[in-house]
Amino acid sequence: MKAGRFKRASGKWPSEQIFSGASRSAPERTMTPERPNPAPRFSSFPLLLGVLLIACSSPPPAPAASAPTVTSVSPDLGLVSGGTAVTVTGSNFEPGMSVRFGAALSGSVTVISSTTLTAISPASSTGPVDITVTGAAGSSSTTINDTFHFLTFGHDALPGADKDLGGVTNGPDGNLWFTERSGSSGDMIGRITPAGRVTEFALPLPSGPFGITSGPDGNLWFTEAAAHKIGRISPAGDLSEFDLPTADADPYLITSGQDGNVWFTEHASNKIGRITPAGRVTGFSLAAKGRPSSIVSGPDGNLWFTEYGTSKIGRITKTGSITEFPTPAANSGPSFIVNGPDGNLWFTEAAGNKIGRITPAGSIAEFSIPTARSNPQGITSGIDGQLWFTELGSNKLGRVTLAGDVTEFDLPATDTLSGFIISGPDGNLRFTEDGGKIGVLKR
């Protein structure tokens, strides 16, 4: 009998066993030991899918709120007493926001939309300030677009309380010059420095000085309505007078022309007059009873004037050729006219209660004044690039932007306008008042 053994393929056996067979040998077998079953495994795919589904179905987080911005304010000025309704344009506006004018808080804010709100200016002191809008996300950054100017009224009283002031103009000496009529001390030409010092120069009676302008020769030229003369006075006070050829001409307003001469209106004789620096006078008659009033040298080199009686704007060339442009509204009563900063001419319509604008080509646009029967008179171009005018009927100063937006400012109860207005040598607005006062609106 042949001995046989089992051979292990792997694993460790504790001992070898030998079997004996009777007639044949047993075949060799290889046996593999059993291993314990591994722990069951689960796929991670369903879990990941669920997480993704939850993430996709959740709303995105709200974006962080942005601080407001200010891109423009209109109007950009108001009185120190407050009360001006200011429209603020920008972004990220929402209810509950506050508005400050400098350090002063507005007491009334109305949010119209996310880009527009209105705020009432508070009482403050004179000067420019930044308008800032504040909300939960912060405050608007200050820029040149949010500047607001607080204005204040004042005046310089002239010697004597019974003076009737006429025209006012900037002189070649950096002072303000004006006419005085029918005072107890007689008719005069006045001069006032930026510091308020007044000097007066007496005129022969009767003279009735009214319009005044700086001439091309460095002197001041003025009309004498009562004497029917044109006067000239040097900055030192030396006086000359020139008779007009037409009796009872009633010379009214006057301006310096680009041709080196001085031009004026003859209200009663219905003429446009021209006088050379040497005193030679030429008259140009109008076709109808226009009652020419104000006159100015236009941007095109011609002279432009108002015709109160026929509601027209006139243009006269340096050689005397006249063209007339009727205002859109009949009986508008155009009164004063001035050059605008936009290359057009602007004028007041005393009877029509409007401000007019005429291009050098003769196209006219009109802008209504909010206050009824305001009787607009004097008009000037301001340092702010807009037009300012007087309202005799409502005792207000008005401002019209180049876009035609009108803002009005009440004068103090103690002051009464008398008609003329000009941007002074210091950039502040100067205007004539009853009782012998030169008013000022300071920025």
Query: 42-79: buried (b, 16+ CB within 10 Å) or exposed (e) per residue?
Result: eeeeeeeeeeeeeeeeeeeeeeeeeebbbeebebbbbb
In tens, the pLDDT along 95-147 reads 999 999 999 999 999 999 999 999 999 999 878 999 999 999 999 999 999 99
More confident residue, 206 or 352: 352
- In the three-class reduction of DSSP (H, G, I as helix; E, B as strand; rest coil), residue 260 is classed as coil
In tens, the pLDDT along 386-416 reads 999 999 999 999 999 999 999 999 998 888 8
Does domain 69-150 bear CATH number 2.60.40.10?
yes
Q: Taking the chain, what is the end-to-end CA distance rounded to the nearest angstrom?
A: 135
CA neighbor of 198 nearest in space, from 208, 210, 185 = 185
- In the three-class reduction of DSSP (H, G, I as helix; E, B as strand; rest coil), residue 281 is classed as strand
Task: Name every residue whose Cβ is closer than 8 Å to that of residue 30 and which is 6 or more positions away in sequence.
Answer: 7, 8, 9
Are 434 and 420 a contacting pair, CB within 8 Å? Answer: no
Burial of 10 (0-12, 13-18, 19+ CB in 10 A): exposed
Please give the model's pTM, rounded to 2 decimal places: 0.82
> Which residue spans of the chain are classified as CATH 2.130.10.10?
154-442
Alpha carbon 400 to chain centroid distance?
8
For residue 182, CA distances in Å to 179, 189, 433 come to 10, 12, 15
**Which DSSP string corresponds to 27-41?**
PP-EE----PPPPP-
**Which DSSP string corresponds to 342-392?**
TSSEEEEETTTTEEEEE-TT--EEEEE-SSTT--EEEEEE-TTSSEEEEET
Task: Name every residue whose Cβ is closer than 8 Å to that of residue 39 and which is 6 or more positions away in sequence.
Answer: none
CA distance 220 to 33: 130
Please confirm whether the linkage preceding 206 is cis (ω < 30° from 0): yes
Amino acid 205: pLDDT: 83
Confidence of residue 62 (pLDDT cuts 50, 70, 90): low
Give the CB-side neighbour count of residue 144, counting CA atoms within 13 A.
0
Amino acid 30: pLDDT: 45
Please confirm whether the linkage preceding 75 is cis (ω < 30° from 0): yes
Confidence of residue 22 (pLDDT cuts 50, 70, 90): very low
pLDDT at 37 over 60: no
> What's the sign of the alpha-carbon dihedral 17, 18, 21, 25?
positive
Mean pLDDT of the 306-326 span: 97
DSSP conformation class of 146: G
Residue type, 407: T
CA distance 320 to 391: 33
In tens, the pLDDT along 92-101 reads 999 999 999 9
Amino acid 19: pLDDT: 36
In tens, the pLDDT along 415-441 reads 888 899 999 888 899 999 988 889 999
Residue keyed to tokens 């593999």: 32
> Which residue spans of the chain are classified as CATH 2.60.40.10?
69-150
Architecture of the structural domain at 154-442: 7 Propeller (2.130)
Mean pLDDT of the 245-256 span: 94
Residue type, 82: G
More confident residue, 160 or 269: 269
